[in-house]
Amino acid sequence: MMVYSRHGSVKFSDDIRERMGLCNEIDNTRRCFIGDLSLFSDDDDGWKGDEVNIKTEHGRVKVRFVDEAELEISTGKVSLISRVLGAIL
């Protein structure tokens, strides 16, 4: 998985972090391997597994599994951008 965030934050759920084999960050880009690292093979044919690429300039990224419960407590504050986008969507 590659996650680029220039002016935002990147958060991984506990379940994702438990399965993360490698993760490094260079130039606002995090490169992470999630899964069984022993299955990784860097042979001549290249990577044959799934890939996820996420990019944001000014946003928050939260990475979690689809069936994972989101345990976030709302502060009750709504930003201007959230109000504008909420009105549009």
Q: Is residue 44 part of a domain?
A: yes
Tokens 């996420």, located at residue:
54
- Which residues are paired to 2 by β-bridges? 31, 53
- The tally of domains found in the chain comes to 1
Cβ atoms of 34 and 41 within 8 Å: the answer is: no
- Closest-CA residue to 32 (of 8, 54, 48, 9): 54
Q: Is residue 72 part of a domain?
A: no
Q: Is pTM beyond 0.85 here?
A: no
44-68 pLDDT, tens digit per residue, is 666 677 888 999 988 888 888 888 8
Task: Provide the domain limits for residue 8.
Answer: 2-66
Q: Is residue 74 part of a domain?
A: no
Q: Is residue 19 part of a domain?
A: yes
- Cα 36 to Cα 9, 21, 29, 48, 60, distances in angstroms: 26, 7, 22, 14, 27
User: How far apart are the C-alpha atoms of 51 and 74, rounded to whole Å?
Assistant: 31
